[in-house]
A and B are shown apart, each in its own frame.
Chain A
Amino acid sequence: MKAIVNVYLKEGVLDPQGKAVHHALGALGFEDVENVRVGKQIVLDIKADSMKAAEKEVEKMCETLLANTVIEDYSIEIVQ
């Protein structure tokens, strides 16, 4: 199965990339954008007995390596 991990800077932690993209969109005339956050997506092909087991394992990976929980939040989606 596949695990899709999204990592973003926490709310309240200034996101310099998001700010730059927001600014650029504004300069291009997309003035209705109120806020931009830029994150990263990590896609894993993973062997697991169940979706639940996969999610648990990926959560461990996030806490250990994939996210820096001092400044980042993550979300995990498991798909067959």
Chain B
Amino acid sequence: MNVTVLQFPGTNCEFDTKYAFEHLEQRVTIVWHEEEMIPANTDLVVVPGGFSYGDYLRSGAIARFSPIMKAVKSYADNGGYVLGICNGFQILLESHLLPGAMKRNENLHFISKHQYLKVENNDNRFLRKCEVGERLNIPIAHAEGNYFIEEDGLKALYDNGQVLLTYCDREGNPENPNGSVANIAGICNKEKNVFGLMPHPERAMETILGSADGIRMLEGFLS
């Protein structure tokens, strides 16, 4: 599989993401945001974590207008798979490739810790290797992970099976580290080819790092 990882000024997870997919024996290309084309034969575009444009104005608000994002939009419109992690998720929200918006964490802290997630839906490429109700141990690291969507939008997310991951504790009881609506940690679009989540699966690829649960998430994309 050919994975294209985007890089904006301020991106800092591009090499972790590259490592993660290379760990799964895939080919990875890092593409600078001023490029106007997604490399041919790309099977998955990853918008990685970091602080694009220093998170000035709002996280992801300025990166949205980088030339490469126009290409990502048409790639996604044509059914291509796109995964946004953390700041990448924020960029996808600002780009309207995913519904809703991100606010600062309710407690205003930058949160950096391991967090359990509950798989809400595996009827999609991203989580097809996971079981519904399964708990995954994945690190989170963000100041703006407080996902918001108004009531009708939230209902539509549930009706269409777009809520993918919620925050929980080790036993699977709901937990909410940042104030997210309905404890949401990750969603996808209606067509199920664009995915966004705040946690970092690429940082959970080896047990020596505390968890290898990220492998099952990312290998869902492998054909």
Contact = CB atoms under 8 A, between A and B. Distances in A.
Contacts of B62: 65
A68 B95 CA distance: 11
Size band of the B side of the interface? 10 to 19
A41 to B, nearest CB: 12
B179 A14 contact: yes
Interface stretch (B1-9, B36-44, B100-108): B100-108
Contacts of A54: none
A16 B57 contact: no
B61 A71 contact: no
Interface residues of A, number: 11
A59 B105 CA distance: 28
Contacts of B108: 16-17, 20
B94 interface: yes
B104 A17 contact: yes
Contacts of B101: 68, 70-71
B148 A16 contact: no
A42 B146 CA distance: 24
A71 B62 CA distance: 17
Given A68-B94, A70-B148, A13 B103 contact: yes
A66 interface: yes
A22 B65 CA distance: 35
16 contacts: A13-B103, A13-B148, A14-B103, A14-B106, A14-B179, A16-B103, A16-B105, A16-B106, A16-B107, A16-B108, A16-B179, A17-B108, A65-B61, A66-B57, A71-B103, A71-B148
Interface of A: 9, 13-14, 16-17, 20, 65-66, 68, 70-71
